[in-house]
Amino acid sequence: MNDSSLPTSVAVSLSDSLADVTASVGRSLVGIAGRRWPASGVAHAADLILTAAHAVNRLDHLAVTVDGVETPAELLGQDPALDLALLRVKGAALVPARWRASTALRPGSLVLAVSRPRGSVRVRLGLLGGVGPAYRTAWGARVEASLDVELSARPGLAGAAVADVQGQLLGLVVSGLGRSRRLVLPAETLARTAEELLTQGRVRRGYLGVGTQPVRLPVSLRGVAGREQGLLVVAVEAGSPADAAGLTFGDVLLQVGSAATADVGDLLGALAEAPIGQPLPLQVLRAGAVQERSVSVGVRP
């Protein structure tokens, strides 16, 4: 082999390798008609599929395409806070995906976004731009790692798999708040949520039944409250846990459990970790004085 043929040889080898990985990942994917646009799903087990919830929500006829054959599917459960749904295809013999833990991921790695939006495999090449810490979605759902993957905004990627060049899956593509951006849910989040959806049909998160908005406390009350910000209660749902606890319009939530509540995200995070049906201490500012209360945490509808 002369030097002039070396670049071509390397390019061909890389091309063949990526094509092989795409085919391997594609064997763990199914096509889904979707509510508005075609979507994909990833085999979690031989008869279980993970996909984006918005793609299958309110479908009259739920089916997936496996090996070119449309097969009826059953919705076992969904979590709108993560835009994740779990389906079952009875009698299927799907090839479960091989997942890679987020702790093993390195920024700068090549990744493939593999999908089957209409039953046939599609792939897009990209980079893992970064791996960030755990965070919560706007609805309070915990995501174990933030995966920064540049993805196209074009339709067809819902439920797609993001894989490394060895064919291991890093995550699943869903949509963010308002479906305006793509999120990649890591393996740990998918495994935990799939187990809850399989056993309960939903993810149970804490609920108070209040409408709130962030507020900066007047200087005269900051010393009393021990902080500068809180959550102003602007609505209380009749019959809700908050109603039973005696919360009312105009109260300022200062603390829920051990978490200070300076914004709505703090409240959602505290409730997401709170045991359902168990008492949770509250710290409330009312009429210029701090009150200690307790609420029995409900389940978010």
Give pLDDT, residue 204. 86
pLDDT at 1 over 80: no
Phi, psi of 143 (to 5 degrees): -120, 125
Shared-domain flag, residues 222 and 279: yes
Shared-domain flag, residues 148 and 277: no
pLDDT interval class at 6 (50, 70, 90): low
- The per-residue pLDDT for range 243-300, each reduced to its tens digit, is 999 999 999 999 999 999 999 988 988 888 788 888 999 999 999 999 999 999 998 7
CATH of the domain at 263: 2.30.42.10
The Cα–Cα gap between 102 and 125 comes to 19
Give pLDDT, residue 150. 81
Give residues with Cβ within 8 angstroms of 126, minimum separation 6: 110, 111, 112, 113, 149, 150, 151
**Parallel, antiparallel or unpaired: strands 110-115 and 84-88:** unpaired
Shared-domain flag, residues 99 and 33: yes
Give pLDDT, residue 187. 96
Higher-confidence residue of 299 and 29: namely 29
Give pLDDT, residue 170. 95
| The last residue of a domain, from among 140, 165, 199 | 199
pLDDT interval class at 8 (50, 70, 90): confident
pTM: 0.82
pLDDT at 155 over 90: no
pLDDT interval class at 130 (50, 70, 90): very high
pLDDT interval class at 113 (50, 70, 90): very high
Shared-domain flag, residues 53 and 175: yes
Shared-domain flag, residues 35 and 178: yes
Containing structural domain, residue 267: 206-299
Q: Average pLDDT of the chain?
A: 90
| The last residue of a domain, from among 175, 199, 223 | 199
The Cα–Cα gap between 133 and 148 comes to 11
Q: Position of tokens 């709130």?
A: 212
Shared-domain flag, residues 103 and 243: no
Shared-domain flag, residues 48 and 105: yes
Shared-domain flag, residues 247 and 168: no
The Cα–Cα gap between 270 and 278 comes to 13
pLDDT at 177 over 70: no
Distance in Å from the first CA to the final CA of the chain: 67
The Cα–Cα gap between 131 and 220 comes to 43
The Cα–Cα gap between 208 and 294 comes to 11
| The last residue of a domain, from among 173, 199, 225 | 199
Shared-domain flag, residues 44 and 185: yes
Give pLDDT, residue 97. 96
Shared-domain flag, residues 162 and 213: no
Shared-domain flag, residues 189 and 74: yes
Q: What percent of the chain has pLDDT over 90?
A: 68
Q: What letter would DSSP give residue 160?
A: -
Of 2, 6, 73, nearest to 33 (Cα)?
A: 73
CATH of the domain at 155: 2.40.10.120
Shared-domain flag, residues 146 and 213: no
The alpha carbon dihedral of 87, 165, 184, 102 has a sign of: positive
- The per-residue pLDDT for range 46-70, each reduced to its tens digit, is 999 999 999 888 777 899 998 888 9
Of 50, 37, 116, nearest to 78 (Cα)?
A: 50
pLDDT at 118 over 70: yes
Give pLDDT, residue 205. 87
- The per-residue pLDDT for range 185-240, each reduced to its tens digit, is 999 999 999 999 999 999 888 889 999 999 999 999 999 999 999 999 999 999 99
- Tell me how far apart the 2 most distant CA atoms of the chain are, in Å: 85
The alpha carbon dihedral of 187, 265, 58, 148 has a sign of: negative
By mean pLDDT, which of 24-38, 119-133, 165-179, 283-297 is the weakest?
A: 165-179
pLDDT interval class at 140 (50, 70, 90): confident
pLDDT interval class at 178 (50, 70, 90): low
Give residues with Cβ within 8 angstroms of 223, minimum separation 6: none
pLDDT at 2 over 70: no
SS3 6: helix
Give pLDDT, residue 180. 54
The Cα–Cα gap between 172 and 237 comes to 36
State the total domains in the chain.
Answer: 2
